[in-house]
């Protein structure tokens, strides 16, 4: 359901050491999230593209990529009119709908429709980023570093990066931002020039039972029948500059907007996608794959499930909070399913064994040549040594590294206070005032129920650790209990931190910073024992992690260079939330023996799922339109196509990306991937990996025929299909 990157994804990726088998350019026909400068080297004419590569990306002119934008909340979107009209996913506009909703006006449940530009609704905290320039600056960044290594190499690369970034920023147009990023442990360095537009408004969003039809049960599943789309609009100041929301602002005039084609697509048609995929790590060593499959992914899935369940408890008796947290819960449920499915995918794909087999080939290739031995001889032994030092305590370390979090502010500041006291530090008056302000801000939004449930979760995970990885202090406090009795004792402990009056005000927490270690021990004996030991353990974990990261990047860079050299290929860079291109075909798949999925679904199939109960409650008006076959110009046969499948290589962040046909016309809207294709942050499966997209005809059908918002279509460039239907009038 959700392929966007958000605060939860960013948090998860902070702690997740993601990994994969090596993938290389054109290793699999439809594999690859290519940078714009790589498009010209792809065999697109042979595959069916009718445009020139320069029509897709032209560094010196206007092209299709100029219409593709990134939303600040982690999605892709695209301009679809000369008046700054934006098309993206419903789940990408979800936060804007939630923030504007009240128990009396629930825009998620009922949808939103503006009758004109004048009634478009501000999208709180939304902005868009337009990519103006992408350049591979690897050669410039590496200049003068040929004979350096270690800290000297890192410092030289930083100097070159800072210098080039400052020079390019000085030359950039007003309002443009320059940043240079290292990709793939420094295999590539890319420069990005972007522009931000801050005033974004909601134009039309369908109701929940279209935009989120099927809910979590259908998430990542095929068949799908979800109208996951929303229209937004970008506004700027009258002089064309970016500005915060103002009634004086005017619609932004993009350099390029996409043409819409309602002629439909058929199986095996060539299509391509441009968007902002969030994060992949497809070039990692076997030890990393093993860690992901057995430790990291299962932990992340269980953590997200616990956090979602806790937020659901918060909203059980408070309708305002239920509405407030529904987007958060949906995101958490989504990524719970991602990590659960990814672990299964890595195991099913036998990824560890395959990676080991490639490493054996690499070892033989290195050994066969003295020059290669000199350059790469230390790579595999080094990876084995560094991993052997880091991973033996992996299960415990991932727990200790993740907790405390922003969702547990009391524990976080209690932990910080004990750490400060243990180090013998005293806050100055100024530091104390600043810290109190931080704590007050955290307490303004804290949820005691959420904090209690998460502390319980981490205590349970500690209890489940293997004997050689136990957190000794937790065992001292709780191992005299078993089963339900231990869970009850852990809950009491969690309540003493999150819900009782020990730390129920910022003033009580700030007072901890002024106490001695002995005073803390006397006043809060169990908490002091636990937190004091936790401070020491977590510092040890952070020390190991820092050491691991300082050594692994050099080895991973050589590993990638060596693998690419052995295979005589130029790999595409891992995704990093920057503009990428991928291509493929409309195609179904076989998820298991004796089952074959075709690549299209229709309103008819949606009605077959209808139960009248959320999340399978088809709107009555949609059923009436199907019954009357009142499809306007958007029908095909006896229904309207809702969703379709393609082999394009996508990942979180691609939500809202346009699916374009061979002529570069939009025919669909990316909103999901399939369950069997999960693990695609690690590797691409041509047999199983599929993009799930909303057919553009369903987007326009719902907007015009169902939503009576046909005025929106009047500003779009629409081609194909039958004779235009009578325009719907705005109500």
Radius of gyration of the chain (CA): 27
Report CA-CA distances (Å) from 664 to 18, 131, 206, 347, 719: 34, 19, 26, 38, 12
Provide the CA 95 distance to its chain's centre, in angstroms. Answer: 15
Q: What is the mean pLDDT of residues 108-119?
A: 97
Coil, strand or helix: which one is 642?
strand
Query: What separation, in Å, do the N-terminal and C-terminal C-alpha atoms of the chain show?
Result: 30
Query: Which pLDDT does position 6 carry in this prediction?
Result: 53
Contact 11, 307 (CB under 8 A): no
Instruction: Annotate 602-629 with b (16+ C-beta within 10 A) or e (fewer).
Output: bbebbeebbeeeebbebbeebeebbeee
**Cα separation, 94 vs 215, whole angstroms:** 13
List phi, psi (to 5°) of 403. -110, 130
Contact 30, 649 (CB under 8 A): yes
Pairing of strands 658-660, 666-673: antiparallel
**Banded model confidence at residue 21, pLDDT cuts 50, 70, 90:** very low
Contact 668, 694 (CB under 8 A): yes
Q: What is the mean pLDDT of residues 390-398?
A: 93
Question: Tens digit of pLDDT for each residue in 260-298?
Answer: 999 999 999 999 999 999 999 999 999 999 999 999 999
Query: Which pLDDT does position 405 carry in this prediction?
Result: 79
**Cα separation, 433 vs 453, whole angstroms:** 30
List phi, psi (to 5°) of 176. -90, 145
Extended beta strands in 447-498, E state? none
- Tokens 């305002």, residue located: 320
CB atoms within 10 A of CB 72: 15
Retrieve residue 441's tokens: 């801000």
**Cα separation, 585 vs 589, whole angstroms:** 12
**Banded model confidence at residue 404, pLDDT cuts 50, 70, 90:** confident
Query: Which pLDDT does position 149 carry in this prediction?
Result: 83
Note the pTM of the prediction, 2 decimals: 0.89
List phi, psi (to 5°) of 151. -60, -35
**Banded model confidence at residue 2, pLDDT cuts 50, 70, 90:** low
Nearest to 691 by CA among 668, 666, 674: 674
**Cα separation, 193 vs 172, whole angstroms:** 8
Instruction: Annotate 4-28 with b (16+ C-beta within 10 A) or e (fewer).
Output: bbbebbebbbebbbbbbbbbbbeeb
**Cα separation, 544 vs 343, whole angstroms:** 25
List beta partners, residue 695. 668
List beta partners, residue 693. 644, 670
pLDDT at 27 over 70: no
pLDDT at 19 over 50: no
Going along the chain from its start, the domains and CATH numbers come out as: 29-281+583-719 (2.40.10.120), 390-567 (no CATH)
CB atoms within 10 A of CB 657: 31
Question: Tens digit of pLDDT for each residue in 329-372?
Answer: 988 998 899 999 999 989 988 889 999 999 999 999 999 999 99
Nearest to 639 by CA among 665, 616, 607: 607
**Banded model confidence at residue 5, pLDDT cuts 50, 70, 90:** low
Asked if the peptide bond before residue 615 counts as cis, ω within 30 degrees of 0, the response is yes
**Cα separation, 359 vs 600, whole angstroms:** 40
Question: Tens digit of pLDDT for each residue in 40-84?
Answer: 999 999 999 999 999 999 999 999 999 999 999 999 999 999 999
Query: Which pLDDT does position 348 carry in this prediction?
Result: 87
Nearest to 335 by CA among 310, 378, 303: 303
**Banded model confidence at residue 117, pLDDT cuts 50, 70, 90:** very high
Half-sphere exposure of 292 toward its Cβ, with a 13 Å CA cutoff?
33
Query: Which pLDDT does position 4 carry in this prediction?
Result: 59
Burial of 45 (0-12, 13-18, 19+ CB in 10 A): exposed
Half-sphere exposure of 343 toward its Cβ, with a 13 Å CA cutoff?
18
């Amino acid at each position: 359901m959700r392929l966007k990157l958000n605060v939860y994804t960013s948090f998860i990726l902070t702690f997740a050491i993601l990994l994969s088998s090596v993938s290389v350019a054109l290793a699999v026909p439809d594999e690859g999230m290519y940078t714009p400068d790589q498009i010209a080297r792809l065999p697109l004419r042979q595959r069916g593209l009718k445009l020139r590569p320069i029509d897709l990306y032209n560094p010196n002119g206007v092209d299709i990529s100029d219409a593709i934008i990134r939303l600040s909340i982690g999605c892709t979107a695209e301009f679809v009119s000369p008046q700054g009209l934006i098309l993206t996913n419903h789940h990408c506009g979800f936060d804007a709908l939630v923030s504007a909703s009240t128990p009396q006006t629930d825009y998620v449940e009922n949808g939103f429709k503006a009758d004109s530009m004048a009634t478009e609704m501000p999208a709180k905290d939304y902005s868009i980023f337009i990519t103006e320039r992408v350049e591979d600056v690897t050669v410039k960044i590496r200049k003068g570093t040929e004979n350096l290594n270690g800290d000297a190499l890192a410092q030289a690369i930083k100097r070159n990066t800072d210098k080039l970034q400052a020079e390019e920023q000085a030359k950039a147009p007003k309002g443009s931002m320059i940043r240079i990023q290292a990709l793939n442990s420094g295999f590539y360095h890319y420069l990005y020039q972007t522009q931000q537009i801050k005033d974004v408004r909601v134009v039309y969003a369908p109701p929940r039972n279209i935009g989120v039809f099927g809910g979590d049960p259908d998430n990542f599943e095929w068949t799908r029948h979800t109208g996951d789309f929303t229209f937004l609009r970008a506004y700027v100041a009258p002089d064309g500059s970016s500005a915060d929301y103002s009634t004086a602002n005017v619609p932004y005039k993009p350099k390029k907007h996409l043409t819409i084609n309602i002629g439909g697509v058929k199986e095996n048609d060539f299509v391509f996608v441009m968007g902002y995929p969030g994060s992949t790590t497809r070039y990692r060593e076997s030890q990393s794959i093993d860690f992901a499959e057995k430790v990291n992914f299962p932990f992340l899935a269980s953590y997200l499930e616990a956090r979602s369940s806790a937020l659901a408890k918060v909203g059980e008796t408070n309708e305002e909070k239920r509405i407030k947290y529904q987007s958060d819960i949906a995101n958490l449920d989504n990524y719970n399913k991602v990590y659960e499915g990814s672990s299964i995918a890595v195991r099913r794909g036998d990824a560890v064994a395959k990676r080991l087999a490639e490493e054996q080939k690499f070892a033989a290739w290195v050994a066969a040549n003295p020059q290669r031995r000199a350059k790469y001889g230390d790579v595999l032994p080094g990876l084995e040594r560094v991993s052997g030092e880091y991973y033996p305590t992996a299960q415990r370390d991932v727990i200790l590294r993740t907790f405390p979090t922003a969702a547990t502010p009391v524990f976080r500041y209690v932990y910080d206070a004990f750490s400060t006291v243990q180090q013998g530090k005293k806050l100055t008056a100024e530091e104390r005032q600043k810290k109190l302000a931080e704590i007050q801000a955290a307490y303004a939004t804290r949820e005691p129920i959420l904090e209690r449930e998460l502390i319980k979760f981490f205590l349970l995970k500690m209890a489940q650790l293997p004997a050689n990885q136990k957190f000794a202090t937790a065992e001292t406090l709780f191992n005299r209990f078993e089963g339900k009795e231990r869970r009850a004792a852990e809950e009491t402990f969690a309540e003493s931190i999150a819900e009782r009056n020990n730390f129920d005000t910022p003033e009580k927490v700030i007072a901890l910073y002024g106490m001695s270690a002995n005073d803390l021990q006397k006043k809060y004996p169990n908490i002091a024992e636990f937190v004091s030991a936790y401070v020491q353990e977590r510092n040890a974990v952070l020390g190991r992690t820092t050491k691991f990261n300082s050594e692994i990047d050099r080895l991973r860079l050589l590993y990638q260079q060596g693998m690419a050299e052995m295979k005589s290929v130029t790999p595409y860079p891992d995704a990093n939330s920057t503009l990428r291109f991928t291509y493929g075909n409309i195609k179904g798949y076989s998820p298991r023996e004796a089952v074959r999925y075709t690549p299209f679904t229709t309103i008819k199939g949606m009605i077959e799922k209808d139960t009248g109960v959320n999340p399978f409650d088809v709107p009555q008006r949609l059923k009436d339109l199907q019954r009357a076959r009142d499809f306007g110009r958007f029908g095909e046969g006896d229904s309207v196509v809702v969703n379709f499948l393609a082999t394009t290589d996508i990942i979180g962040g691609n939500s809202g990306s346009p699916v374009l046909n061979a002529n570069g016309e939009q025919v669909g809207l990316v909103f999901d991937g399939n369950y069997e294709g999960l693990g695609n942050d690690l590797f691409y499966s041509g047999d199983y990996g599929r993009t799930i997209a909303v057919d553009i005809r369903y987007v326009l059908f719902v907007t015009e025929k169902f939503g009576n918002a046909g005025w929106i279509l009047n500003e779009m460039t629409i081609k194909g299909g039958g004779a235009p239907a009578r325009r719907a009038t705005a109500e």
